[in-house]
């Protein structure tokens, strides 16, 4: 194991937190599952019954190569074919900001999953704020390396925005796990300014 993993900005700490929310034998749905590595881990280490949803053909081929069942679907389309509460946990990790209607998708995932785990990239992070304020430029960071014109990320929000949306949709936030950048203590006090990412556990 990498000793610097806690400080490693490349590491997906949100996935560690989400994995902790999975009980042995749970049915887990990962929307926007990429190559399925995360689901493979859940399958092997937590004995979860998993399913991925992905739109990219190469990712799907790799999922199957990882032994992870996956279906090709557009998350912006209708997900009505998933029965209500058919999964113990529905996961959206670093995906919400890429969808055309995050509100509709949130509503769907709390319907499909008994609980949902959503990791949200925080646009209210102090670095983002200072980039806009002092440089007058759209923020870019390791989480968001794209230029504003070619980014797949079309719906960014702050943690406060996200909480507000959940309240409006009558979605209960069961747990909030902000992931600190450099200042763990400040993150606890002011997550909306210091968390780079936050994992929300939701119930519909």
Partner 1 sequence: MLYYTFGILNIRGDKIETEQNNKEVFITQPRDFRMDSPLPLDCGRELKEVNIRYETAGTLNADRSNAVLVTHALSGDAHVCGRHTPEDKKPGWWDEMIGPDRPVDTNKYFVICSNVIGGCSGSTGPQSIDPDTGKPYNMSFPVITVADMVRAQKRLVEHLGITKLLAVLGGSMGGMQVLQWAVDYPEAMECFIPIATASCFTPQNIAFDWVAREAIKADPNWNNGNYTPDASPDHGLAAARMLAHITYLSEESMGRKFGRALQNKSELDFAFNYDFAVESYLQYQGQRFVERFDANSYFYITRATDYFDVTAKTDGDLVKAFSQVKAAALVVAFSSDWLFPPEQSRKIVDALLQNGSEVSFCEIKSGYGHDAFLLEVDTLGRMIKDFLHYHQEGYCHE
Q: Which residues of the chain form contacts with partner 1 (CB under 8 A)? A: 49, 51, 57, 60-61, 63-65, 67, 69-73, 81-83, 86
Query: Minimum distance from CB of 170 to partner 1 (Å)?
Result: 26
Which C-beta is closer to partner 1: that of 61 or that of 167? 61
Positions of E strands within the chain = 27-31, 49-54, 70-72, 87-93, 113-121, 172-180, 195-203
Q: Between residues 39 and 121, which has the closer beta carbon with respect to partner 1? A: 39
Question: Partners of 27 in the beta sheet?
Answer: 49
What does residue 176 show for φ and ψ, rounded to 5 degrees? -130, 120
Closest distance of CB 42 from partner 1, Å: 15
Smallest gap from Cβ 22 to partner 1, in A, equals 18
Q: How far is the CB of 45 from partner 1 (least distance, A)?
A: 17
Q: Where are the alpha helices (DSSP H) in 87-183?
A: 102-112, 126-130, 159-168
Task: Give the nearer residue to partner 1 in terms of CB position, either 86 or 153.
Answer: 86
Question: Which residue in 48, 24, 18, 45 sits closest to 116, CA to CA?
Answer: 18
């Amino acid at each position: 194991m990498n000793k610097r993993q806690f400080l490693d900005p490349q590491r997906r700490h949100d996935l560690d937190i989400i994995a902790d929310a999975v009980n042995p034998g749970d049915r887990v749905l990962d929307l926007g599952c990429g190559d399925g590595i995360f689901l493979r881990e859940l399958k092997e280490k937590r004995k979860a019954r998993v399913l991925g949803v992905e739109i990219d053909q190469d990712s799907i081929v790799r999922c199957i190569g990882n032994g992870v069942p996956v279906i090709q679907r557009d998350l912006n389309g209708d997900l009505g074919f998933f029965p209500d509460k058919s999964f113990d946990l529905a996961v959206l990790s670093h995906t919400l900001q890429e969808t055309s209607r995050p509100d509709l998708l949130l509503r769907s995932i709390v319907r499909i999953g008994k609980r949902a785990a959503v990791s949200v990239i925080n646009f209210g992070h102090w670095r983002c704020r200072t980039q806009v304020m002092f440089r007058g430029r759209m923020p870019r960071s390791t989480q968001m390396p794209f230029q504003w014109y070619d980014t797949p990320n079309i719906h960014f929000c702050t943690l406060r925005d996200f909480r507000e949306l959940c309240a409006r949709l009558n979605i209960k936030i069961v747990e909030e796990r902000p992931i600190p950048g450099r200042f763990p203590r400040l993150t606890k006090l002011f997550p909306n300014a210091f968390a780079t990412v936050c994992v929300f556990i939701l119930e519909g």
